[in-house]
Every structure is written in C-alpha cells, then in structure tokens.
Structure 1
C-alpha cells in the first residue's frame, strides 16, 4: 500500500491493488513522502467511495480535527443505531460540522425552527445530536447551541440506508410545523411539545405526508368516516381548514381516510 497524497497528518490517499483509497489513522502521514509504504497497523479507517474525489477535496479544505471529530460522531451514531450509515455521511457531516464550528467561533448562531418537531420525529437521531453537541463543546470549549443537535439529527436520519431524501425530510418537517402552529392558534391552545397527544399528532402528520407522497395510505371504512365526521364536527372542520390550506400552498392532496385520522388526533388534543 503506497502513499499517493498527504491531506494532513492523519489522512492520506493511498494506492492499494491499483485502487485509490483514503486512509485515516492517528499520525499515519508523519515523516512520510509520496510513494512511501504505509504501515497498515496505523490505519483506523479505509474508504473506497464512489465520491472519493469529493472526499479528497473536503480533506484538503477543512481542518483535520474537524474531520476526525465528525468521524467520532459517525462511529457513535452507527453503534447507537446498530446500523451502517451511507458512505456519503463522511462528506456531508464533516462539511456541516466544520462549518458549524467555524461560524460558532465567529459568534454566528443559526436557530433551528424545526427543533421541537425533529426531537419528536427522530428521537434516536436527536439523542445522537445531543451527544455530538456535548462532545464538540468539550473538545473545543465553545458554546454550541442545542439547535445543532437537530441539524446533526437530520443528517444522520437521511444517511441511514433507508432514511430518505434530506430536502424532502426538511420539507415535510416544515409543513408539519406549519400545520401544528395553525391548529394550536385556531384552538387557542398552548401545549408543551412533550405532551403525548401533541407528539402523536406531530408523528401522524409526518407519516401522513410520507404516505401521501408514496401513495401508501391508511384505509378507513366509509361508515366509520361518516361517524367521525358527524360526531366530531368541530375537529373535522378544523381538519378541513388546515389540510385545504396545505393543499392550496403545496399541492398535497389528503384523502378522506387521512382526514378522519387527523380529526381523531385533533379531538384527542382538545382534551389535554
């Protein structure tokens, strides 16, 4: 395994069996020059990625300690979730973490308006984000806002092998927040986000959007739907009001069965 390029003291590009690979290891490049042999015992991670060029560019542009702390977060996440993440996580998370550290050190804080929704919808990923925030705080002695836990959680979620598209996840989460704010205002209610009925409705709305997008819908008996519509007419009218607003703004169509389920969740929320 020959050294082809040094990115920093802990990351190098090597040639292994005619394949370019990125090798990571503590002090792996110390005292080395191009074409030197690499001690494989020093290799902690070896990347053979479709996006090797992007990874090489990233390693050349961000501080090596930013990449290493991102790798620690990724390792923690994979252990916590019990699954491997997409290889693309090594690029997107390192890039995000590096940028976050730099702007925080410059006194720039970006609040995450979707914090509460992310905390509810992606509990495990959010817990990982909280760990990551604390880890960065300790390593850099900087005041990392908890909003960063939500940003990291979304990256972790969408990099799970079946996590979904990052932009679509953001879009759905933002729409859910918009619907919840509208409903609470219309109902003149102030409910904490840790309330179980609040969390159930947030979760249902999120998966409703996912099902509508993928044409995977819960079916409800027509007679049962009529009963719900008549018995909980106030909640049903509120359901119509919020869903028609979303349909008008985003073009998302809600079938009758989903209107029935949302009505039941709103009725439950009213009893808090």
Structure 2
C-alpha cells in the first residue's frame, strides 16, 4: 500500500516511518504518533500538518532533543514551525526543526530562570530581514499563548536569523557572520566619522542595506561598472570618506575571502559622503 508507513512511534508527535520517496525518515507533526502502531499508514489529511526529516544527520540530532522536551512544549514548537512554513515562500531547510527547537527550549528556560541574553545585533537583524522579523514576532506570540511565557525582543532577533537561514538554505553560522560583519562596519563608520547613528533612522536603515547589498554582490561575484572620472573626483574632494570606504572594503575582503571590485569604493564613498553631510 502506497503511503508513509510507521516503523516506530517515538511519542505522540514523532514517529520513525518509511516514506515512498525518501526511505526511512523521521516524521514530525502534532499528533502523528497518537494511537498509532508499527505498520500503520499515516492518513493523507495529516500531510500538510507534518514534516519529514530526510537527512540522517538531522534525524539523529532531532532524536537527541526528545528526552529534553515534554510533548506539550514540543507540540507548541511544531505549531510555530508550521506557522513559519505557511508564511514564507518556498520550503524551509529541515534543519530548522533541530535549530529552532533547541533555541526555543533554551530561551524559554532562560526566561523562567530570570536570565536574559543580550542580542548585540538586533537592530542590524531587523533592518536586514524585516519580513522574517515580523514572522518571528508571530512565533513569539504563539509561544506566549501556548506556554504563558513571553520572550524578550532580543530573542525575536535570534529567531529571525533561524527563519532567514531556513528560507535561504544557508547555515545559521553564515547568516550570523554577515549580521556581525555589518555591525562591525557600522561601528567603524561611527568611529571614523565621530558620531553615533540613530538605529531607528532612515539613514541607518539605508546604510545597513547598502552594506548588505555590497556583501551580496561580492558573494555573487557580481561586477558593477566603475565610473573612473567620478572615482578620481571623489578621491580628491572627499578623501576622508574615500579612505574610509577602502577600509570597509578591506575588512569585507578579509571576512568574505573574496575580492571586492574597485567600483564598490565609489558607491560606498558617495553613500558615506551623503551621511557625513547630514551629520554636519
């Protein structure tokens, strides 16, 4: 009989099963294991409410989490991931089941013990990933409704990175690295131009996005035209901003391990000059 056949029920929300396309898998979903036994076929009406872990590594890691999580909490987290899945385009990288479950368990535990983890990259995260941040806020609301525990704003930033990582199919460490790089570049700009940016301002938002788009172009090996005459003019007229732009580029090259085209210095100088004019 075609379908997903249960091999072993691990708890009410998790079962090991044989999938017709993927072979042995771990199936996650609210109630997928409830009142079921070996050989049962999961009904089709559960299909849009469950997730299949195909990777053996993710299967093993998820099973390791099971002893540390009660089924009610697990069902709440499954519901949040289902909500994320319904809100984002395309499919989520299956690592989110391990990564976000693990993170939420620790976050809820920290709050219950009166500990709050500071998120130094929160403003950069909000600016870089506004859509994922809105979805992360919804996740916090669902968790509060289900558990009665409210998570602080800093946690929304961490959850945002988990969501973005799963959407773009990149390792969380890589996504984190770019947020930290942008934060480092903004700090250097503030030091060199001797001012503190209003993190709620449009100027801050534009700067962060400009830096992120520059990083994206570098990673994609995307070349932009270099206006030679403008480059010469900027170097002569705005030496502080021009030199700062090159400092930023050297930091990007060191962090990304990729060359940055000279034209990026021109556009960065122009952006920095506009910013410096507003400060004055």
TM range (shorter): 0.7 to 0.9
Paired residue secondary structure (2:8): strand
* Residues 58 and 128 of structure 1, relative CA distance in 2, 3 Å threshold: same
Distance in 2 between the 1:151 and 1:212 partners? Answer: 25
| Superposition pairs of residues 10-159 of structure 1, within 5 angstroms | 10-15=13-18, 19-32=23-36, 34-35=37-38, 37=40, 40=43, 43=46, 44-51=49-56, 52-159=59-166
- 2:229 is matched with 223
Q: C-alpha displacement at 1:63, in angstroms?
A: 2.6
Q: Which residue of 2 aligns with 1:256?
A: 262
Name the Cα RMSD after superposition.
2.9
Q: TM-score normalised to the size of structure 2?
A: 0.82
| CA deviation string 1:157-178 (max 9, x = no partner) | 1112x44332222122112111
1:269 counterpart (268, 275, 280)? 275
Does residue 181 of structure 2 align to residue 175 of structure 1?
yes
Residue in structure 2 matched with residue 191 of structure 1 by the alignment: 197
User: Paired residues, what number?
Assistant: 270
**Distance in 2 separating the partners of 1:75 and 1:170:** 23
Secondary structure in 2 matching 1:159: helix
What is the Cα deviation at residue 87 of structure 1?
Answer: 2.1
Unaligned 5+ residue runs, structure 1?
A: none
Compute the displacement of 1:116 (Å): 0.5
Gaps of 5+ in 2: none
Distance 2:100 2:255 in 1: 32
Closer, same or farther: CA 202–31 of 1 in aligned 2, 3 Å: closer
The separation in 2 between residues aligned to 1:38 and 1:126, in whole angstroms, is 38
Question: Residue by residue, what CA displacement relative to the aligned partner does 1:43-102 show, whole Å, maximum 9, x if unpaired?
Answer: 331515123333333334433334333332223223322321122222222222222222
Quick one: distance in 2 between partners of 1:2 and 1:244?
A: 55
What does the per-residue CA deviation read over 1:198-222, in whole Å, with 9 as the maximum and x for residues that have no partner? 2121112123233334432322221
Cα pair 1:228 1:263 within 8 Å, conserved = yes
Secondary structure at 1:12 match in 2: strand
Choose which of 235, 241, 244 in structure 2 pairs with 1:235.
241
Q: Work out whether residues 17 and 24 of structure 2, in 8 Å CA contact, stay in contact via their aligned partners in 1.
A: yes
Q: For residues 242 and 42 of structure 1, what CA distance do their matches in structure 2 show?
A: 53
Partner of 1:13, secondary structure, is: strand
Residue pair 1:8, 1:64 contacting (<8 A) in 2 also: yes
Q: Partner of 2:224: helix, strand, or coil?
A: coil
Query: d(CA) in 2 for partners of 1:239 and 1:197?
Result: 17
